Chain A
Amino acid sequence: DAGVIQSPRHEVTEMGQEVTLRCKPISGHDYLFWYRQTMMRGLELLIYFNNNVPIDDSGMPEDRFSAKMPNASFSTLKIQPSEPRDSAVYFCASSLGSGYTFGSGTRLTVV
């Protein structure tokens, strides 16, 4: 298995632009998580899905952030419009109940 696959690895965008981050979880894993990591705030859980259904989105910063999981093998995290304070590393992780497998992350820079 190739593990959790995220794309792109790096994204540089201008303030106000829409950004879409993508994630392919490990086949068979029924939980999918989106995390944001910054030096100041550490690892923050944004949202997680179970069997493609959003369970807890209380960590989503504001309405500019949205996440979808249209099927078991794909999820997106969208930021529209993006702001400089959204600059961070965004990780996707999947799990079968214990122990999360993280993707390599997307480093987002909003200028």
Chain B
Amino acid sequence: GQQVMQIPQYQHVQEGEDFTTYCNSSTTLSNIQWYKQRPGGHPVFLIQLVKSGEVKKQKRLTFQFGEAKKNSSLHITATQTTDVGTYFCAGVKTSYDKVIFGPGTSLSVIP
């Protein structure tokens, strides 16, 4: 079946450093979504990417969808302690399919 993988599993960065997490799917995706879950909280929807090669920005966060629509990345510039949490990508094979969540990348920011 469809699988969504993420690397790295964990990342510890010094505050102010950049951070990137990568998401890979075993199949071509219709779209990909990104979520953030703070420790003890629930996943919160960040963004959805639909088009091949699409790049979207939200302040210090940059999201990219690969040309083949099988991979994606989330890059955070100059991390802050408020960025701490687990970032999940979630892939959809077709518009009517369920979303498959990756295992997440847990980000720790050292002040």
Contact residues of A with B, CB < 8 Å? 33, 42-43, 45, 48, 55-56, 91, 93, 98-105
Instruction: Tell me if B42 and A103 are in contact (CB < 8 A).
Output: yes
Q: Which residue of A lies closest to B31 (CB)?
A: A98
Most buried by B among A56, A99, A102, A104: A99
Count of B interface residues, CB-CB < 8 Å: 17
CA distance A25 to B44 in the complex (A): 15
Q: Which residue of A lies closest to B47 (CB)?
A: A99
Give the interface segment out of B15-23, B68-76, B96-104.
B96-104
- Per the 8 Å Cβ criterion, residues 70-102 of B in contact with A are 88, 90, 98-101
Q: Which of A48, A99, A105 contacts B42 (CB 8 A)?
A: A105
Instruction: Tell me if A56 and B48 are in contact (CB < 8 A).
Output: no
Instruction: Tell me if A100 and B104 are in contact (CB < 8 A).
Output: no
Q: Which of B31, B41, B101 contacts A43 (CB 8 A)?
A: B101
Most buried by B among A43, A45, A48, A98: A43
- Going nearest first, the 10 A-B pairs with the smallest beta carbon separation are A99-B45, A102-B42, A43-B101, A42-B103, A102-B43, A98-B48, A105-B42, A104-B42, A99-B48, A48-B98
Q: Which of A45, A55, A56, A91 contacts B43 (CB 8 A)?
A: A91
Most buried by A among B31, B35, B42, B45: B42
Q: Which residue of B lies closest to A55 (CB)?
A: B98
Could you list 29 A-B pairs, sorted by A, with CB under 8 Å?
A33-B98, A42-B101, A42-B104, A43-B43, A43-B88, A43-B104, A45-B98, A45-B100, A45-B101, A48-B98, A55-B98, A91-B42, A91-B43, A93-B43, A98-B31, A98-B33, A98-B48, A99-B45, A99-B48, A100-B33, A100-B35, A100-B43, A100-B45, A100-B99, A101-B45, A102-B44, A103-B42, A104-B41, A104-B42
